[in-house]
């Protein structure tokens, strides 16, 4: 079924334009509410958001939609995506909603939906909601219109939950940690949780104004935190994205530690302690070949999926794995959360740092990356990947890398971009292959 609204991670787009308007949000509320009005109990939905200016508009429209079909609404205010998933499950809600465009800048926004179990909705549920959005919804009778209330202790509940992911004997005393919250949803909770565990916290990206989320800070713009870690003489830096489901680490030398190295550390540490399930970890086709080789050396598997944390999680649940993630920093640790959680993952890294007594630069660089290059090509419309010239360029690239590396070509699920990635032991060959394919895509776009 062709999707009009939902992409790889809910609905996302330019706020107040195109498909992501207040009218669309109200339709989502009505359609999702109708879809989850099951049974005779009083139905409720938990709604959280990040710090974007448009979040107020989207929140109000969703409230109108849900209450108009008879569902009560619980509002948390700005809170990380994994916190919304947690509260949805703990409060016995029928549905959870996160208003966020994750790592995108403030002008974009999005709607992510969680089921009563705290997991992101299946494709079937999203398709059913899309179908409902095209129908005129039956509104609740006046006496059955839903109510909305804001809860005051949502942040405290989440802070308590993430701290529980660390064993009681682990304290962070003596560590100086730079925490960059991207002026986003975790601006209050993550620095507080790490401080409560004993660390000296240098907080940055914690002054949201509605317009500065992911602007020069956070996991997709690392220059500021790299400099701050070195200037402060910190032991480590923690960089989250706008909705705090993504983590990138900076070692004490200011070097970037991506999701692949983080998964290598968490997976190998848990394997040593007998806590790793499934005999390996789950990652996407974008993870570096170096990670795969490192895990193989430990007798562990790397299961690859399509890009998107929802696909990683599906494979984890199907195969009984408890560690998965993406090179971009989504870390899914199902012993502690039902979705990606940057703060929980950060605490596992900090716990390993404490136990090892090693500097972060030694602990967090467990394998050498195979040369890998990713380039994005923006296109205006149509499908450049169907052009004969592009198919020919891709076939040529695959032939050149045969037995020497990998080639991954895909469309972005959230933007009009073609992503071209290649990796192999010959860096010059990788560059030539990517450049040739990008040139073909640009000519066809």
Catalytically annotated residues: 102
Output phi, psi for 93, to 5 deg.
Answer: -80, 160
Please measure the distance between the N-terminal and C-terminal CA atoms of the chain and give it in whole angstroms: 25
Output phi, psi for 235, to 5 deg.
Answer: -75, -25
Helix runs in 134-282, H state only: 154-163, 189-196, 223-232, 259-272
Q: Concatenate the DSSP letters of all residues of 264-277 into one string.
A: HHHHHHHHHTT---
How far apart, in whole angstroms, are the C-alpha atoms of residue 103 and residue 396? Answer: 34
In three-state secondary structure terms, 248 is: strand
Output phi, psi for 69, to 5 deg.
Answer: -105, 5
Strands 301-305 and 331-333: unpaired
How far apart, in whole angstroms, are the C-alpha atoms of residue 236 and residue 251? Answer: 5
313 contacts: CB under 8 Å, gap ≥ 6: 119, 120, 324, 332, 334, 339
């Amino acid at each position: 079924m062709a999707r009009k609204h939902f992409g790889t991670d809910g609905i996302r787009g330019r706020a107040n334009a195109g498909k992501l308007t207040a009218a669309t949000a109200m339709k989502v509320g009505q359609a999702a509410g109708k879809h989850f009005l099951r049974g005779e109990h009083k139905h409720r939905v938990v709604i959280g958001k990040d710090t974007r200016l448009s979040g107020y508009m989207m929140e109000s429209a969703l409230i109108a939609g849900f209450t108009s079909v008879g569902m009560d609404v619980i509002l948390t205010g700005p809170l990380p995506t994994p916190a919304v998933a947690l509260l949805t499950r703990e409060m016995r809600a029928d549905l959870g909603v996160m208003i966020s465009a994750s790592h995108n800048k403030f002008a974009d926004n999005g709607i992510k939906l969680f089921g009563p179990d705290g997991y992101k909705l299946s494709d079937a549920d999203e398709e059913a909601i899309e179908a409902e959005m095209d129908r005129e919804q039956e509104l609740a009778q006046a006496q059955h219109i839903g109510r909305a209330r804001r809860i005051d202790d949502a942040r405290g509940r989440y802070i308590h939950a993430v701290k529980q992911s660390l064993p009681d004997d682990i304290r962070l005393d003596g560590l100086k940690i730079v925490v960059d919250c991207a002026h986003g949803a975790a601006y209050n909770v993550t620095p507080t949780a790490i401080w409560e565990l004993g660390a000296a916290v240098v907080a940055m990206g914690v002054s949201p104004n509605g317009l500065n989320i992911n602007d020069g800070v956070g996991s997709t713009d690392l220059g500021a935190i790299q400099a701050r870690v070195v200037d402060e003489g910190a032991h480590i830096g923690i960089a989250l994205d706008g909705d705090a489901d993504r983590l990138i680490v900076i070692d004490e030398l200011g070097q970037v530690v991506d999701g692949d190295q983080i998964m290598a550390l968490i997976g190998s540490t848990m394997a040593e302690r007998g806590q790793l399930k499934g005999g390996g970890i789950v990652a996407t086709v974008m993870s570096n070949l170096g990670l795969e080789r490192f895990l193989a050396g430990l007798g562990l598997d790397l299961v690859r999926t399509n890009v998107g944390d929802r696909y990683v999680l599906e494979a984890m649940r199907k195969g009984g794995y408890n560690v998965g993630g993406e090179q971009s920093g989504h870390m899914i640790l199902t012993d502690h959360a039902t979705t990606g959680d940057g703060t929980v993952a950060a605490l596992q890294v900090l716990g390993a740092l404490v136990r090892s007594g090693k500097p972060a630069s030694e602990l967090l660089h467990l394998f050498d990356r195979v040369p890998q290059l990713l380039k994005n090509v923006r296109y205006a419309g149509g499908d450049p990947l169907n052009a004969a010239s592009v198919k020919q360029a891709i076939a040529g690239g695959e032939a050149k890398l045969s037995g020497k590396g990998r080639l991954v070509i895909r469309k972005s699920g959230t933007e009009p971009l073609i992503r071209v990635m290649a990796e192999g032991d010959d860096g010059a060959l990788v560059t030539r292959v990517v450049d040739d394919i990008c040139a073909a895509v640009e000519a066809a776009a």
